Amino acid sequence: MANISTSYLGLSLRSPLVASASPISKKLENVAKLEEAGIGAVVVYSLFEEQILHEQAERDHFLSRATNVNPEALDYFPDLGSYNLEPDRYLAHLAAIRKAVEVPVIGSINGVTKGGWTEWAKRIEDTGVHALELNVYSVPTDPVVDGAAVEARVVDLVSEVVGKVRIPVSVKLSPFYSSIPNLVSRIGAAGAKGVVLFNRFLQPDLDPENLSVQSTAKLSDSSDLNLPLRWTAILAGRVAPQIALSGGVGTGRDLLKALLAGAQVGQVASAVLANGPDAVGRILSQLGEWMDEHEYESVDQLRGSMSQKKVVDPTAFERAQYMRALTSLDDRFV
């Protein structure tokens, strides 16, 4: 039977499938079920920069005034129960998960700017988690700010967060940067040990009847795999950070493709949200069956064998792929 154990960010994993940050990890019993199903590691749902800044603002607000204006009041200090304590609950939840399971636990922090909130990276580390994932979710809207400035901010943020902790840091990126290879290389130089390709931008929709903007989250499926697959194949073996492919991994075949392209691991969320933790076991069983059938002894043996660096025709991942795709339509309509 094929050996599907591997490593990621210097951590030993029993499988190359990692649960990405999602609501599934908000319940401790769900994380335990993921472990039972064979998950290699778990990225816990994200703590957002906005939540931290809100709590800091709330503390500043209440500490700047008394809850009772009477100068002789005994209850001078503010009512702590009125604070937004979500960041503190997040830390407690991380610590509880860390104690409950044996698989590597990865904290997640979602932010886009440098500032005091990045101190929370150290607090997350102090819960005992094995690594930290920095999710950089930003939509540049200012016409004055050019692409170089946007990417420089990302690198600066990564450098600041890496400087706060000793545990390995991975960076979850969007696909909408001007030069992904250059940015990933710079992120590696800033100290990141891994990159996650990609986070999913939630695209807003318009409601013509109510003249409102609607935001909805759509679960991904195998049809979403091609974009992260392409960039994983292009970057594998060319950049220092390890690659975790995220987006569209819902079957063993999807995970296999991610590994063949050069990903160190594949991340899964939607398949688990749709079908429960048992989806993990099915994905890993399908991967193992394929490896046995094709006589692969380990994940490391097959990893990257179809990356751009190793395939016979590297141009298949570049402009030539576009031309071939269009040419294929000629047979149907011309």
Between strands 242-246 and 212-214, the pairing is: unpaired
For residue 74, what pLDDT band results from cuts at 50, 70 and 90? very low
Nearest to 108 by CA among 186, 35, 20: 20
pLDDT at residue 168 greater than cutoff 50: yes
In a domain, 313, yes or no: no
**Distance between CA atoms of 221 and 223, rounded to whole angstroms?**
5
- Mean pLDDT of all residues belonging to the chain: 87
Domain range for 158: 6-308
In a domain, 333, yes or no: no
Q: Give 215-238 as a 3 state SS string.
A: CCCCCCCHHHCHHHHHHHHHHCCC
Q: What CATH code is carried by the domain that includes residue 102?
A: 3.20.20.70
Nearest to 48 by CA among 95, 108, 106: 108
In a domain, 324, yes or no: no
Rounded to two decimals, the pTM is 0.86
Angle between helical axes of 147-162 and 180-189 (0-180°, round to 10) = 30
In a domain, 93, yes or no: yes
In a domain, 231, yes or no: yes
In a domain, 320, yes or no: no
Domain count, the chain: 1
- Residue 297: predicted pLDDT: 95
The per-residue pLDDT for range 132-152, each reduced to its tens digit, is 999 998 788 889 999 999 999
In a domain, 314, yes or no: no
**Distance between CA atoms of 175 and 14, rounded to whole angstroms?**
29
Report cis status (omega within 30 of 0) of the bond before 77. Answer: no
The per-residue pLDDT for range 288-314, each reduced to its tens digit, is 999 999 999 999 999 999 998 887 677
Burial 29-61 (b: 16+ CB within 10 A, else e): ebbbbbbebbbbbbbbbbbbbebbbebbeeeee
In a domain, 327, yes or no: no
The per-residue pLDDT for range 107-134, each reduced to its tens digit, is 999 988 888 888 999 999 999 999 999 9
Query: First-to-last CA distance in the chain?
Result: 49
Structure tokens at 313: 């025709």
For residue 264, what pLDDT band results from cuts at 50, 70 and 90? very high
